[in-house]
Chains A and B, each alone.
Chain A
Amino acid sequence: QVEIQQWGAGLLKPSETLSLTCAVYGGSFSGYYWTWIRQPPGQGLEWIGEIDPRGSSNFKSSLMSRATISVDASKSQLSLNLTSVTAADTAVYYCSRGFGSFLEDWGQGTLVTVSS
């Protein structure tokens, strides 16, 4: 049974950097698309960005200047950094794994609140 666990700071102040990490247990890390998605409270899903099996990354254009996705293959971990956060970045953040660019296995979600 594949399990994706994610973790990171849940409360940030404006201008700080959001840092989240996820890891897969009971399954493979390599050879998959890994994607970050977020969902503001009471709203729909927003695709943030992905890293493909070759290590190439793509981002939503409005977040590209602030977002970084990185992989530590030795630890089978994926990370998201989002700089200069504002209240508009308050959301539940999910990481997800897929054999293609569709999203098969999901982490449990991490609520990140940005508030002064």
Chain B
Amino acid sequence: DIEMTQSPSSLSASVGDRVTITCRASQNVGAHLNWYQQKPGKAPNLLIFAASSLQRGVSSRFRGTGSGTDFTLTISSLQPGDVATYYCQQTHFTPRTFGQGTKVDIK
């Protein structure tokens, strides 16, 4: 199975800060990489698909980059509503594995 490793596991930043989360795949997954946001007690929400495509209705403050094995999710200006856990997922191979998650909160 493809292993997805996210870093950091958690971070704390101030409102307005630029936040970067990285995701590394154990094998080349091309651009088949998605990012989800999960708020406490809620189902996850798709933010980015195909590494860099913004899902409709998602704020342009979220940006995905990367290909192959290394990917990044950037929040350009952190807002209180962005407090959540973020997961990457590869969909190039089955099983379609998730990273372990990155918990983001406000300092």
Other-chain contact of A47, B50, B97, B100, B101 (Cβ < 8 Å): B97
In contact, B43 and A102 (Cβ under 8 angstroms): no
Does B49 touch A at the CB level, under 8 Å?
yes
**Known contacts A45-B98, A46-B98, A47-B95; is A103 also within 8 Å of B1 by CB?**
no
Are B49 and A50 in contact (CB-based, < 8 A)? Answer: no
B71 within 8 A of A: no
> Which residues of B sit under 8 angstroms from A98, Cβ to Cβ?
46
Q: Is the interface of B mostly helix, strand, loop or mixed?
A: loop
The residues in A between 46 and 97 inclusive whose CB is less than 8 angstroms from any CB of B are 46-47, 49-50, 58-61, 94
Q: Closest approach, in angstroms, between the C-beta of A54 and any C-beta of chain B?
A: 14
Complex contact A109–B96 (CB within 8 A):
no
User: Are B46's CB and A102's CB within 8 A?
Assistant: yes
Given A44-B100, A61-B1, A94-B43, A102 and B89 touching (CB < 8 A)?
A: yes
Cβ-defined contact, A58 with B95, below 8 A? yes
- Is the beta-carbon distance between B95 and A60 smaller than 8 angstroms? yes
Residues of B within 8 A of A27 (CB): none
Q: Is the CB of A101 within 8 A of B91?
A: yes
Interface: B55 (CB within 8 A):
yes
Given contacts A103-B34, A104-B46, contact A58 B98 (CB under 8 A): no
- Ranked nearest first, the 5 interchain pairs of A and B with the lowest CB-CB distance are A106-B43, A101-B91, A58-B94, A102-B49, A60-B95
